[in-house]
Amino acid sequence: MAGTGSKDLSPQRKRRRRSGWRGLVYIAPAMALVLLFFVMPVIFTGWMSLHNWPLMGGTRWIGFKNYARMFHDARFMSALQFTAYYTVIVTIAIFAVAFPLAIFVEKQRRFVSTYRTIIFLPVVVGLATASLLWVWLANVDSGFIGPALKALGLVNKSPNLLAASDSAFLTVIIMVVWKIAGFTMIILLTGLQAIPAELTEAARIDGAGRWQRFRHLTLPLMRKTIALALIISVTGSILAFDQFYIMTSGGPQNRMISVVYYIFNQSFVSFNLGYGAALSIALLAILVAISIVQLWLLRVGEEQP
Amino acid sequence: MIKRLLAATSIATLCLAASASAAEKVEMWVRSGIGEAFKKTVESYNSSHENQVGMTEVPFSELVQKYATAIAGGQAPDALSMDLIYNPAFAAAGQLEDLTDWAKSLPYFNSLSPSHVKLGTYQDRIYGLPLSVETSVFAWNKDLYQKAGLDPEKAPASWDEITANAEKIRALGDDTYGFYFSGGGCGGCMIFTFTPLIWGSGTDILSADSKTATLDTPEMRKAVDIYRNMVKKDLVPAGAASDNGANFLSFTNGKIGQQSLGAFAIGSLVTEHPDIHFGVTLIPGATGGTSSFAGGDNFVITKGTPKIDAVKEFLEYIYSEDGQKIMAKYGSLPTRGDIAGKVLQGLDPRLQVGMQAISVAKTPYTLQFNDLINSANGPWATFTSAAIFGEDVDGAFSNAQTEMQSIIDSGQ
């Protein structure tokens, strides 16, 4: 039966099937890497999350107790809350800075490539390095910001920026914007440059003002680019860890513990690898859900009208 | 016949000699930041013994994770110098060699630092023995005392006196401060320097069986008030509020009048900052008495190591008078009380104060030290920062008390 079935296939279908196999061979290396470095670790993390898995000593199967525990874990909830708050604030701040910058460097003007380079420079600094740099900048005695404010006569006494939670949060936000905005700017810039000049021209001839052109022409045509920039920014913010660990140690008084920071603490400070794994799986689910919602909101899959 | 016999025996002895000289090499890990003392002891042991010790320094913040993963991977070193507060947790996890019988056979067992042996004991079996001892003491800068018109040789005996002295030193000028502590969520620093205030007054942050958090006591309130008061009066540099331990030894900059620090620091102050003239005394309690935190490292042996005899030989060398002398010379206090006087002879007299502190010193015994105390995000670190620098002292007390209790309960 199977033999006759294959004989009945039209040559076209046969060719398609053969090229399908060939395609698979081409992507096999990539698939192998993804399997080895993403899928398998995730499966193993899932397996760990079903155990009481201390850093030392024996492991014990406990089913879904780790997952049940996280719903009553006040510290996890406050970490989620803080991460959400941070993500919203920092994403808005990054876009508020990156969009004008992108528009600024898109136009051909003198020294535009110099501007682009300068704005992009902080991006090539590692996040941990940048955090350390800002720890120094914000240092109350030997740093730059505090002593500079004092030297300018704006304050009587050099403020300890990282000691109070509002100023510490603000410092972290400014650092991240300084570090990331250049990258978002480049992404947005590619979107801006992809808009055909004729369309803008046509709109202008039709009498559309600057704001109208931005609102009804630029924004809709940049939907895919904005979606990409948004997802990168939101994902990065939800996974934030370095800046809080290095700049404030989660302080002042634990007000800045992000979800990843909490997972790290559970795994390597409290030695509950199992619970840490369960939290990681939960975070993965949250990230996937948020990305799907974002893609749906911006309707990236649909064809442009 | 005789010739053949002779030949046979000589070959046999040769073999014996060869096998005896097949010296063993013990792999040992040490955490960074305990100074030169141990390194020098290893050097002198290696130069005088057939067995050798290979020492690897591991950053102190990663030692616990690294050791735990090395055990899981079968790559663990034979022995380890472990911050003694982690000893109970590792012993409870069944990763360490039981040393009870051997330890008790040592003639000087009863004079080994009691806090260390207590931390090395789990369910009446001994899994760790003292390697290096450090106690917290109170130090004052004699030059600044003199400038402020105080008697540089007179050690302050109470916190009222310390505060009054701090005010006079602060009056000297812009960047000279009366007192310093790392208050920015450094649980390890604060348990080391701040809890002696309440221990001296006879209370503790945990009950004797470590099953109840007893943070909120009148003595702790008083201790917090003392520190708050000094912060309010601007006697402490503003950087203290966010110092997570990186600047713990600010005393070395010569502009801090008084600070509680450790005996290791006495060693490094003497050798590396000879220009700073300082005195040390026991840390006064908030309402009288004196106390200290007995810290340092325990010597632990990985369970099942084949080189256990060589490791024991090395440890016996450390406990010998020679070994103890080298350790002490580089800042680690003697672990053997019976020969401490002899060992410290001719060394800096200030180390004697560190030694006296051992008799009044305490160390909390808990399997959850990391969670409760040391973690920058744990209840103790948060409490010290919030209670001393925050607005809401009562809130800081009740939050920390609740969280400590819930961590203790969840671990049982």
Q: At what angle do helices A273-297 and A40-48 cross, to 10 degrees?
A: 130
d(CA B144, CA B146): 5
Strand-pairing partners, residue A209, are none
pLDDT at A156 (0 to 100): 83
Residue B155 has pLDDT above 60, yes or no: yes
Give Cβ neighbours of residue B53 (< 8 Å, ≥ 6 apart).
B25, B26, B28, B42, B45, B46, B314
Instruction: Count the Cβ atoms, other than its own, within 10 Å of residue B362.
Output: 16
Please give, one letter per residue, the 3-state secondary structure of chain A.
Answer: CHHHHHHHCCHHHHHHHHHHHHHHHHHHHHHHHHHHHHHHHHHHHHHHCCEECECCCCCEECCCHHHHHHHCCHHHHHHHHHHHHHHHHHHHHHHHHHHHHHHHHHCCCCCHHHHHHHHHHHHHCCHHHHHHHHHHHCCCCCCCHHHHHHHCCCCCCCCCCCCCHHHHHHHHHHHHHHHHHHHHHHHHHHHHHCCCHHHHHHHHHCCCCHHHHHHHHHHHHCHHHHHHHHHHHHHHHHCCCHHHHHHCCCCCCCCCCCHHHHHHHHHHHCCEHHHHHHHHHHHHHHHHHHHHHHHHHCCCCCCCC
Query: In chain A, which residues have their Cβ closer than 8 Å to the Cβ of B76?
Result: none
Query: Which CA distances in Å does B199 have to A166, A227, B385, B392?
Result: 35, 59, 19, 24
pLDDT at A9 (0 to 100): 55
Quick: pLDDT tens for A162-200.
888 888 999 999 999 999 999 999 999 999 988 888 888
Pairing of the two strands B177-180 and B256-262 = parallel
Residue B4 has pLDDT above 70, yes or no: no
Instruction: Count the Cβ atoms, other than its own, within 10 Å of residue B347.
Output: 16
Burial status of residue B406 (CB atoms within 10 A of its CB: 0-12, 13-18, 19 or more): middle
3-state secondary structure of B31: strand
Pairing of the two strands B290-301 and B283-284 = antiparallel
The answer to whether A243 and A64 are in contact (CB under 8 A) is no
Residue bearing tokens 């698939």:
A31
pLDDT at A2 (0 to 100): 43
**Which domains are assigned to chain A?**
4-11+13-48 (no CATH), 74-297 (1.10.3720.10)
Residue A127 has pLDDT above 60, yes or no: yes
Query: Which CA distances in Å does B246 have to A135, A232, B58, B81, B386?
Result: 12, 34, 18, 22, 19
C-alpha distance from B21 to closest chain A C-alpha (Å):
36
CA B19 to chain centre: 40
C-alpha distance from B352 to closest chain A C-alpha (Å):
35
Main-chain phi, psi angles of A196, to 5 degrees: -60, 140
CATH node for B136-293+366-410? 3.40.190.10
Q: Dihedral sign for Cα B217, B223, B226, B229, please.
A: negative
Quick: pLDDT tens for B78-133.
999 888 888 888 888 888 999 999 999 999 998 888 888 988 999 999 999 998 88
Query: In chain A, which residues have their Cβ closer than 8 Å to the Cβ of B93?
Result: 54, 56-57
- Structure letter (DSSP) for residue B373: I
Binary contact (A163, B184; C-beta < 8 A): yes
Q: pTM for the full model?
A: 0.80
Residue A36 has pLDDT above 90, yes or no: yes
Binary contact (B72, A56; C-beta < 8 A): yes
Instruction: Count the Cβ atoms, other than its own, within 10 Å of residue B14.
Output: 10
Q: At what angle do helices B218-232 and B159-170 cross, to 10 degrees?
A: 10
Query: In chain B, which residues have their Cβ closer than 8 Å to the Cβ of A270?
Result: 370-371, 375
pLDDT at B5 (0 to 100): 53
- Is the Cβ of A256 closer than 8 Å to some Cβ of chain B? no
Binary contact (B69, A160; C-beta < 8 A): no
**ipTM of this complex prediction, to 2 decimal places:** 0.73
Type and span of the H or E element at B75: none
Give Cβ neighbours of residue B368 (< 8 Å, ≥ 6 apart).
B89, B407, B408, B411
d(CA A9, CA A7): 5
d(CA A249, CA B244): 8
Quick: pLDDT tens for B383-402.
999 999 988 999 999 999 99
Amino acid at position A10, single letter:
S
pLDDT at A15 (0 to 100): 66
Residue A304 has pLDDT above 60, yes or no: no
pLDDT at A184 (0 to 100): 94
Q: CA nearest B295: which of B83, B54, B5?
A: B83
pLDDT at A5 (0 to 100): 45
Share of chain A above pLDDT 90, in %: 43
pLDDT at B57 (0 to 100): 87
Q: CA nearest A85: which of A301, A298, A200, A255?
A: A255
Residue A146 has pLDDT above 70, yes or no: yes
Quick: pLDDT tens for B299-332.
999 988 888 889 999 999 999 988 998 888 777 8
Can you tell me the mean pLDDT for B161-176?
Answer: 92
Amino acid at position A37, single letter:
F
Binary contact (A139, B371; C-beta < 8 A): no
Binary contact (B185, A158; C-beta < 8 A): no
Residue B142 has pLDDT above 90, yes or no: yes
- Closest residue to A251, CB basis, from B68, B89, B385: B385
Residue B20 has pLDDT above 50, yes or no: no
Quick: pLDDT tens for B52-71.
999 988 877 677 778 887 88
- Is the Cβ of A156 closer than 8 Å to some Cβ of chain B? no
Give Cβ neighbours of residue B38 (< 8 Å, ≥ 6 apart).
B30, B55, B81, B131, B132, B327, B332
Quick: pLDDT tens for A58-101.
788 998 888 998 888 888 999 999 999 999 999 999 999 999 99
**B105 HSE (CA, 13 A, CB side):** 6
The answer to whether A11 and A246 are in contact (CB under 8 A) is no
Share of chain A above pLDDT 70, in %: 93
C-alpha distance from B238 to closest chain A C-alpha (Å):
6
The answer to whether A53 and A270 are in contact (CB under 8 A) is no
C-alpha distance from B344 to closest chain A C-alpha (Å):
37
pLDDT at A14 (0 to 100): 65
Quick: pLDDT tens for A200-215.
888 888 888 888 888 8
Q: Best mutation site among A142, A269, A275 for testing chain B: the one with the most B CBs within 10 Å?
A: A269
pLDDT at B19 (0 to 100): 44
pLDDT level of residue B11 (50, 70, 90 thresholds) = low
d(CA A68, CA A52): 13
pLDDT at B14 (0 to 100): 46
Binary contact (B93, A257; C-beta < 8 A): no
Can you tell me the mean pLDDT for A237-249?
Answer: 90
| Class of domain B25-134+295-362 (CATH, top level) | alpha beta
B383: nearest CA in chain A? A253
pLDDT at A305 (0 to 100): 45
Q: Which of A129-133, B12-16, B102-106, B377-381 is predicted with the least confidence, judged by mean pLDDT?
A: B12-16
Whole-number mean pLDDT of chain A?
Answer: 87
Range from B58-62, B219-223, B338-342 that averages highest in pLDDT: B219-223
- What dihedral do alpha carbons B263, B264, B268, B274 form, nearest 10°? 0
pLDDT level of residue B375 (50, 70, 90 thresholds) = confident
Residue B138 has pLDDT above 90, yes or no: yes
The boundaries of every CATH 3.40.190.10 domain in chain B are 25-134+295-362, 136-293+366-410
Whole-number mean pLDDT of chain B?
Answer: 86
Q: Dihedral sign for Cα A207, A209, A214, A215, please.
A: negative
Binary contact (A269, B375; C-beta < 8 A): yes
pLDDT level of residue A10 (50, 70, 90 thresholds) = low
Binary contact (B95, A56; C-beta < 8 A): yes
First and final C-alpha spacing in chain B: 73
Quick: pLDDT tens for A106-119.
888 888 889 888 98
3-state secondary structure of B138: strand
C-alpha distance from A139 to closest chain B C-alpha (Å):
8
d(CA A75, CA A77): 5
pLDDT at B284 (0 to 100): 94
pLDDT at A98 (0 to 100): 93
Quick: pLDDT tens for B231-270.
999 999 988 988 888 788 888 888 999 999 987 788 778 8
Quick: pLDDT tens for A278-302.
999 999 999 999 989 888 877 765 6
Comparing B169 with B62, the larger pLDDT belongs to B169
Can you tell me the mean pLDDT for A238-267?
Answer: 89
Give Cβ neighbours of residue B106 (< 8 Å, ≥ 6 apart).
B112, B316, B319
pLDDT at B319 (0 to 100): 92
C-alpha distance from B110 to closest chain A C-alpha (Å):
31
pLDDT level of residue A134 (50, 70, 90 thresholds) = very high
